Structure 1
Amino acid sequence: MNVLHINQSDTGGGAGIAAYRLHQGLLNQGIDSKLLVGIRQTDDPRVARVPRRNYPLTGLLKNMTDAMGLNYVSHLATWKIPSHKFYQEADILNFHNLHSGYFNYLFLPHLTRNKPAIYALHDMWSFTGHCAYSFDCNRWQVGCGQCPYPDTYPTIKRDNTELEWKLKKWVYKQANLTIVTPSHWLASQVKLSILEKYPTYCIPHGIDINIYIPLDQLECRRCLRIEQYQYILVTSALNLQDPRKGTDLLIKAINALSDALKRDILILVMGDGGKNLKTQLDCDVLPLGYINLDQLKVMVFSAADLFIFPTRGDIFGLVAQEAMACGTPTVAFNVGGVPDLVRPGITGELAEPENPQDLARKIEQLLVGSEARCKMSQNCREIAVKEYNLTLQAQRYIDLYQQVLADFRG
């Protein structure tokens, strides 16, 4: 079986990491897997860039459609994908993130006319009038328009969300797709959306449990030279400009902890935002920057007592899954697909959305309750091995590929 994944990147961003891990899991199971991506970041010979070609007036068309608030429909080179060797060799397509400026969703019927396709969703963009996350807005259920969040990613210059929603609905009526979501929450949202007619399956993201493993906490702290602190918290990707990340909620929650506890805490920050956070928190902060080495991430997670995930909206939580596999419980808000991973009293605790005081209470509760935290750590590892093993995810996809191909061939 030959599978072709189409995604915005091979390893960039959460969707890129998730798709590339699936690609590796399929290869390990003997499946011929390849990727076409907008941004290529590896030297994997099984990865190539999506065809790009500047047709006459392409720039003018892009300026016009962007001004109209219609993102991505000017990418005419998507028409050339069927001429690519990877596409021609594929038995089945596996779409991932189709936004970010490399793909024209209007060509989905053309691409799926002769090949069936799985559409693995990594956010809500596929069924909204423009946004990747709708927060408290449910207008995507009835046709969008009058968008309350035009500045959320991907931003629009003009509110044409009703038209984009209708364009997507028209595309889906003609495309041959099967939907996969990583969380039960996202699957429930799909059933309320313009994708409702398609069969939908929930297959969680997989993780290599032989790489992401619990290490000795004290030894990891010695290696990181942070053994003097009683409590270590870890968080990631704190972008103050992106309200979805919940950085403002994290700041309020940490500063609401008791003074005695804050004196004993160090917060490790992976990704962006660590340096800015140092000036706004009443405890010590160690910015680690972006970490692309799995083994170093494992050391950071293993050194920590808790992973703090203050997101306002997420369909799964890839970093929380990594923490789980390392035996590190997570404290997060009860939003989106996060509860699939963060199970109260089992793998962590969930706070009331938009309530940083409740987040602070949950953090303090677990830091002080070392016995409960130790049991949660064991649960995290056991659940990661049982439910999120990369081999299990790959096999679930293989079974689905075989079923879809059988149905397609009649």
Structure 2
Amino acid sequence: MRILHISETDYEGGAGKAAHTLHCALRRMGGESFFLAECVQSNDPYTFSISGLRGLPAKVLRRIRSSLDLFPLRRYPLRRPAAWSVGRLPRKLPSLIRRLRPDIIHLHWISQALSIRAIGRLPGPIVWTHHDWGAFTGGCRCPVDCRRFTTGCGECPLLGSQRSDDLSHRVCQRKQRYWQRSRIHSVAVGSGIANDIGDSLILGHHPCTVIPNGIDTDIFRPLDRLQARASLGLNPHEFIFLFGAFTVNTPLKGGNLLADALSLWGRQNPSLPARLVTVGRGSISGTPPSMPVTALGLISNPGQMARIYAAADVVVVPSRIESFGLMAAEAQACGVPVVAFGETGARDIVIHMETGFLPKSWDAEAFAEGLDWAANLSADARRRIAMNSAKNIHDKSSLKTIVDAHITLYRQLLSDATAKAR
């Protein structure tokens, strides 16, 4: 059984990292897995570049393609900042697909890696793991409270449009036209996004299975906190909040809300020395002056990331929308409590008051309550939470569990295809 994964990246952001982790795990378990990406960072011999370029030339080409793809957005001067993909740039199917003749093509986060038309021309059964909402909307990757993707978009609030036939509606129409005959089987990484896929006009008539992202529990596991802090040069006596995202000041990641919650918490706990540690590009503004911030930047090494989790007292995920919450899952695997909003994908990962805290409302006061809960855990409670967290992720999202679930799905799709061909 030969599987070809296609993704925008192989190790950038949560989606690329999750996709490549699955590919590597399949190969370690004896599977024939190959990976095709727009931007390749790994040295894996079974990972290939769509354009044939690597390094700086590949990054330049990716940026050019992204700018050209997003050019139609300029017609909407009232648009709000949002991640978007129009999917119109032509791209021939990579010759690698023809050479490999995969039994299954597994799409992940596509962005500008393939056009809408190219996806419709892919051969054979297609598995598509949805790490965000972009595949079944009119182009936006995170619709937040908007439900127009259930009726074909148009009058898009992110575009600032009042036209029913705007760009978002036309993108939806193109997806319907080119994908209606495709044999797509959606994989949702959480129950919330699975419900949205089922409600969507574009993919709602295709089957969908929930399979969370896999966590390598050999890497992400409980480690000694003091040793982890020593290796990172962090004070062993401070209470450490850890926050991360590919770009930490992205509004949907909730950095502003976190800053407000930390200010509230700091006023209630003036005598407890605390520090905010961030992972990712950029910085958060508005944090309390009394709380120092250590910015570690982008971290691509999983072992280093595991040590960072181990150094934290609590991992904070104030995102307004998450399909899964990879950082929350990795932190839980390391035995670290997580504070995250229960209306996001974290509800499938965090067990309230047993492995973390799920505030009921999306506001700074509710989130500060979760921070206070974490700061006041006794040593016994922290040990219990560490055991519960690591076991929960091992049972639900260990790589073996997730790989087995994918293999079962692949075999079922091939069996169905064989039966239909008879």
* TM-score in terms of structure 1 length: 0.89
Q: Secondary structure at the match of 1:111?
A: coil
Provide the secondary structure at the position in 1 that maps to 2:265. Answer: coil
Number of the residue aligned with 1:406: 415
Change (3 A) 1:232 1:143: same
Provide the C-alpha distance between the structure 1 equivalents of 2:301 and 2:329, rounded to a whole number of angstroms: 16
Cα distance between partner residues in 2 of 1:341 and 1:60: 36
Q: Please name the residue that 1:75 is paired with.
A: 89
Contact 2:260 2:286 in 1 (8 A): no
> Following TM superposition, by how much is the alpha carbon of 1:170 offset from its aligned partner in structure 2, in angstroms?
2.1
Aligned-residue CA RMSD (Å): 2.6
SS in 2 for 1:205: coil
Q: Is the 8 A contact 2:260 2:287 kept in 1?
A: no
The farther-off stretch of 317-326 and 42-51 is 42-51
Aligned to 2:16: 16
Tell me: CA distance 1:125–1:73, structure 2 relative to 1, closer, same or farther (3 Å): closer
Mapped to 2, the partners of 1:12 and 1:139 lie a distance apart of 29
Residue 243 of structure 1 and its aligned partner are, at CA, apart by: 1.2
Any conservation in 2 of the 1:329–1:347 contact (CA below 8 Å)? yes
Residue 176 (structure 1) aligned with residue 180 (structure 2): no
Structure 1 position 288 matched with structure 2 position 288: no
1:108 is aligned to 119
Which letter maps to 2:305?
A: K
Is residue 2:143 matched to residue 1:134?
yes
Q: Secondary structure at the match of 2:290?
A: coil
Structure 1 position 396, deviation (Å) = 0.8
Whether the 8 Å CA contact 1:183–1:203 is kept in 2: the answer is yes
Partner of 1:332: 340
Residue in 1 that maps onto 2:7: 7
Q: Confirm or deny: 8 A CA contact 1:9 1:37 kept in the other structure.
A: yes
Question: Could you tell me which amino acid in structure 1 is paired with residue 338 of structure 2?
Answer: T
Aligned partners of 2:313 and 2:93: how far apart in 1? Answer: 50
CA contact (8 A) 1:51 1:80 kept: no
Tell me the residue number matched to 2:58: none
- Separation in structure 1 between the aligned mates of residue 401 and residue 189 of structure 2, nearest angstrom: 13
Query: Counterparts of 1:47 and 1:179 in 2: how far apart (Å)?
Result: 23
State the shift of 1:103 in Å: 1.2
Query: Hey, what does 1:269 align to over in structure 2?
Result: 278
**SS of the counterpart of 1:180?**
strand
2:226 aligns with 218
Q: Which residue of 1 aligns with 2:197?
A: 190
Aligned partners of 1:9 and 1:40 also within 8 Å: yes
Equivalent residues, number: 395
Residue 135 to residue 66, structure 1, CA distance change in 2 (3 Å): closer
**Residue 169 of structure 2 is aligned with which of 150, 162, 168?**
162
SS for the counterpart of 1:3 is: strand
Please report how far the alpha carbon of residue 21 of structure 1 lies from its aligned counterpart in structure 2 after TM superposition: 0.4
Hey, what does 1:94 align to over in structure 2? 106
User: 1:251·1:281 contact (CA, 8 Å) conserved in 2?
Assistant: no
More deviation in 228-237 or 24-33?
228-237
CA distance in 1, matches of 2:117, 2:391: 43
State the alpha-carbon separation in 1 of the partners of residues 229 and 12 from structure 2: 28
Q: Is the 8 A contact 1:109 1:176 kept in 2?
A: no
Equivalent in the alignment of 1:374: 383
Contact 2:70 2:85 in 1 (8 A): no
Range with bigger deviation, 101-110 or 138-147: 101-110
Listed one character per residue, the Cα deviations across residues 33-78 of structure 1 (whole Å, up to 9, x for unaligned) are 0011111112222111224899xxx99996875656895444322x
Q: Are residues 255 and 159 of structure 1, via their aligned partners in 2, closer, same or farther at CA, if it must alter by over 3 Å?
A: farther
CA change 1:231–1:297 in 2 (3 A) is same
Structure 2 CA distance for aligned equivalents of residues 30 and 63 of structure 1:
40
Deviates more, 1:261-270 or 1:39-48: 261-270
Could you report, residue by residue, the CA deviation over 1:204-246 in whole angstroms, capped at 9, with x for unpaired residues? 1111111111111122223333344341111113846521010
**Offset at residue 400 of structure 1 (A):** 0.6
Partner residue in 2 for 1:363: 371
Q: In 2 relative to 1, CA 222–73 (structure 1 residues): closer, same or farther, beyond 3 Å?
A: closer
Structure 2-normalised TM-score?
0.87
**Counterparts in 2 of 1:382 and 1:310: CA distance versus 1, 3 Å:** same
1:379 Cα deviation after fit: 0.7
Aligned letter for 2:200? S
Unaligned runs of 5+ in 2: 54-60, 77-83
Q: In percent, how many aligned pairs have the same letter?
A: 28
Distance of aligned partners of 1:289 and 1:86 in 2 relative to their CA distance in 1, 3 Å threshold: farther
CA contact (8 A) 1:186 1:336 kept: no
2:319 maps to a residue whose letter is: T
Which secondary structure does the structure 1 equivalent of 2:180 belong to?
helix
Question: Are the equivalent residues in 2 in contact too, given 1:255–1:282 (CA < 8 A)?
Answer: no
Q: Give the whole-Å Cα distance in 2 for the aligned partners of 1:127 and 1:271.
A: 27
- The 1:168–1:8 alpha-carbon spacing in structure 2 relative to 1, beyond 3 Å, is same
- Judge conservation of contact 2:314–2:338 (CA < 8 Å) in 1: yes
Q: CA shift at 1:278, angstroms?
A: 7.9
Give runs of aligned pairs for residues 191-206 of structure 1, distance below 5 A. 191-194=198-201, 195-206=203-214
User: Measured at CA, do residues 196 and 238 of structure 1 come closer, stay the same or move farther in structure 2, by a change above 3 Å?
Assistant: closer
